[in-house]
A and B are shown apart, each in its own frame.
Chain A
Amino acid sequence: MLLRKSVVPLNRDSTGRFLPWLVAVMVYLAALALVSAMAMSKIVTRWDHGLSGQITVQLPVSESELSDAEVDARRESVIRLLLQSPGVLSANHMGAEETAALLEPWLGQSSGLSELPLPELIAVEIDQVAPPDTASLTARVEEIVPGATIDDHQRWLGNLLSLARSIEIVAALVVLLVGLSAVIMVVFVTRMGLAVHYQIVELLHLIGAQDGYIAREFQIHSLKLGFFGGLVGVTLAAVTIIGISQLLGRAGTALLPELTLAPIEWAILSLLPFAAALVAMVTARFTVLRTLARIP
């Protein structure tokens, strides 16, 4: 029918043929980067949630032989001290079994565990709004039990946090680089298309086409390529994620992150093809407009 087809026959030449596949690869990488960042931040929240509000007082195995009664008395006075301190909500002794259970993921279900000289642990719940001063608390506990320490998990959490932060930064960097490469690619593909179809572009210009009209021919083509590539990339990424999360599920250890995505996270992933399409479209448009500006 009359003039239904595009004026610039971009889909008939090979200039843009490889673009969707490159976009697919890039969206795939971006998706995986995003998912790792999201998984990492989920672990951090889980640990943070579990550990903040808690500190652990650790009483060392005493060097001089103490009778069980003396050990108990020592521990009870520490607990009493803790409970009297401002900011402390509760303090509970963790028995040998509990302590062993904590260590199990690291050491395994070793039968010899109970024979090891394990330190005594007191789990302390603290008021998060007005937490006690750990340093002075340590000093006072040490008056009763020399060598006692208080672990507020900050070091361990801090390490985890900075790991998570680095993974997030790397992920953001990957997404940024991927986006940048996509932009550069689209610029080149569009320039190639402009060169191949220069005669047509010039004619359109001379018969009074506005720059925007000519740009539209290119940007719609680019949008289609970007969207298709993005769709392929995100589909492959989804398959990969589901595969990995099943492998993780089978391994079933608490140490590894879970990789089941929440609906919101799937939604973020499904936005990627649209983002790719948008980037491709806007880039093509600006490339064409900039080139046209050189034609008088």
Chain B
Amino acid sequence: MVRFQDVSLRYGAGPEILDRVSLDLAPGSFHFVIGASGAGKSSLLKMMYLAQRPTSGRISLFGRDVSSLSRHDAALLRRRIGVVFQDFRLLDHLSTLDNVALPLKVSGQRSEEIRKDVVELLTWVGLADHLDAKPATLSGGQQQRVAIARAVVSRPSLLLADEPTGNVDNRIAERLLYLFEELNKRGTTIVVATHNEALISRFRYPVIRLVRGEVRLEHAETLIRTSDMPGYEASGSTTSGGASRLRGSPESAG
């Protein structure tokens, strides 16, 4: 589903943000991405949603090498990827309803057909009373839920969420994760970048940890032990290709 082979990334002449990262996320898998602020979580996701080209290495999505995609095909591929941006990126002049309906409209669906689905989804994320509200009049948490609704409205095969619970309390965060879990059960591959340790221990999905430009795959259990016992190095979950290379899949991960 998502396959990185020796992918490196640096911005301009800056330092190496990601250093020959390899990973392979199977269809239907669920991963958390963690790492210190500035570790490159957003950068990793950007490459997954084709907003950033790697400096070197190969990325394939849905079994297709993305560097060889035409612009037309790349757009079609993006429609199968739902993204929750760290900064939401809602359109200020559009209502909640219109913001969420945007991906459907862009892919050519008609307004009448869209409306019912969108309203249902917004009800689910608790925004039924704010259908016509502009983003500026919503709280941070409400905006985040609009952003999430927009990411999932087109039933993407791959859902990438960058800090999707950064602005909501734990109760709502869990609720949102249940939504992701529900989508995951229906086959959506999910990657969630987060700082929220409580969520990671509550939902025991494998974790991609970014440290100094390299990735390590960890079980949620080992992660908890890591945070319990400072200095513990989780080496059991990494695979061939060196301790710092990741060739993880949900099967190998747990």
Q: Tell me the A residues contacting B by CB distance below 8 Å.
A: 1-5, 7, 9, 12, 199-200, 203-211, 213, 293, 296
Contact = CB atoms under 8 A, between A and B. Distances in A.
9 contacts: A2-B98, A2-B115, A3-B105, A3-B111, A3-B114, A204-B106, A206-B83, A207-B79, A208-B78
B89 interface: yes
Contacts of B114: 2-3
A53 to B, nearest CB: 64
Given A208-B79, A208-B103, A296-B50, A4 B111 contact: yes
B117 to A, nearest CB: 11
A3 B78 contact: no
Nearest to B80: A208
Contact of A2 (B101, B103, B107): B101
Contacts of B111: 1-4
Given A4-B111, A213-B106, A208 B91 contact: no
Contacts of B71: 210-211, 293
B226 to A, nearest CB: 34
A207 B93 contact: no
Given A2-B97, A2-B114, A7 B91 contact: yes
A210 B72 contact: yes
Contacts of A200: 91
B105 A296 contact: no
A9 B134 CA distance: 14
Contacts of B93: 9, 12
A9 B98 CA distance: 13
Contacts of A209: 75, 106
A207 B52 contact: no
Interface string B101-123: 11101110001001100100000
A23 B83 CA distance: 41
A116 B130 CA distance: 99
A149 B20 CA distance: 96
A27 B254 CA distance: 71
- State the majority secondary structure of interface residues on A: loop
B13 interface: no
> Most chain-B CB neighbours within 10 Å: which of A200, A207, A209, A211?
A207
A183 to B, nearest CB: 25
B51 interface: yes
Contact of B91 (A1, A203, A211): A203
Q: How large is the interface on B (under 10, 10 to 19, 20 to 34, 35 or more residues)?
A: 20 to 34
A131 B115 CA distance: 82
B49 interface: yes
B53 interface: yes
B76 interface: yes
Contact of A296 (B52, B77, B103, B118): B52
Contacts of B89: 199, 203
A206 B105 contact: no
A52 to B, nearest CB: 60
A206 B114 CA distance: 20
Interface in B163-183: none
A206 B47 CA distance: 12
Given A2-B114, A206-B83, A7 B103 contact: no
B83 A296 contact: no
Contacts of B79: 207-208
> Most chain-A CB neighbours within 10 Å: which of B75, B78, B93, B114?
B75
A208 B102 contact: no
Contacts of A293: 71
Contact of A206 (B51, B53, B76): B51
A77 to B, nearest CB: 87
A196 to B, nearest CB: 12
A161 to B, nearest CB: 53
A38 B210 CA distance: 74
Nearest to A12: B93
A2 B117 CA distance: 12
Contacts of A5: 94, 98
Nearest to B81: A208
B102 A7 contact: yes
A154 to B, nearest CB: 62
Contacts of B97: 2
Contacts of A210: 71-72, 75
Interface string B152-170: 0000000000000000000
A19 to B, nearest CB: 21
A207 B83 CA distance: 8
A270 to B, nearest CB: 36
A176 to B, nearest CB: 33
Contacts of A4: 111
A30 B49 CA distance: 49
A208 B98 contact: no
Contacts of A207: 78-79, 83, 102-103, 106, 150
B111 to A, nearest CB: 5
